[in-house]
Amino acid sequence: MLKEENELIQLEKDAESILQDEKKTNELLQKTIKKITGNKEKISEIKDKLQLLVEVMKAYREGSYTIIPKRSILMIVATFIYFVNPFDLLPDFVFGLGFLDDATVIGLTFKQISNDLEKFKLWQKEQTVIE
């Protein structure tokens, strides 16, 4: 197992406590959005994936999309915790490499919950048709 996978497992445990606290969940979501917005060029390759994870988390938090398994939500929260941490495996300030580990963790999350993300995208399309 990759070191990033081990770290993600530990982060899932932290995610459990954050997910149980609405204020902490909102703070983490805001930090994630801020980091995405502030680093557009550096994270261009993973921006769309991050944005989808943000949309899932927002819909889950608002209660409009709750059919996603809790394990998948925990993985998203854990990914956000890792992403907003400036001193993760490769610190973000390391030129050219700082977001490489973030991209790896995001890729692992996408791989693990890809079916749930596809279901969310279908649900999202249905919501725009309904509106």
Nearest 10 degrees: Cα torsion 99, 77, 3, 35: 10
What predicted TM-score, i.e. pTM, was given to this entire model?
0.77
The predicted-structure confidence for 93-103, as pLDDT tens digits, reads as follows: 445 556 677 78
Sign of CA dihedral 114, 55, 32, 45: positive
- For the chain, the domains span 3-130
Q: Considering only residues 92 and 27, tell me which one the structure prediction assigns the higher pLDDT.
A: 27
Express each pLDDT in 88-129 by its tens digit: 555 544 455 566 777 888 888 999 999 999 999 999 998 877
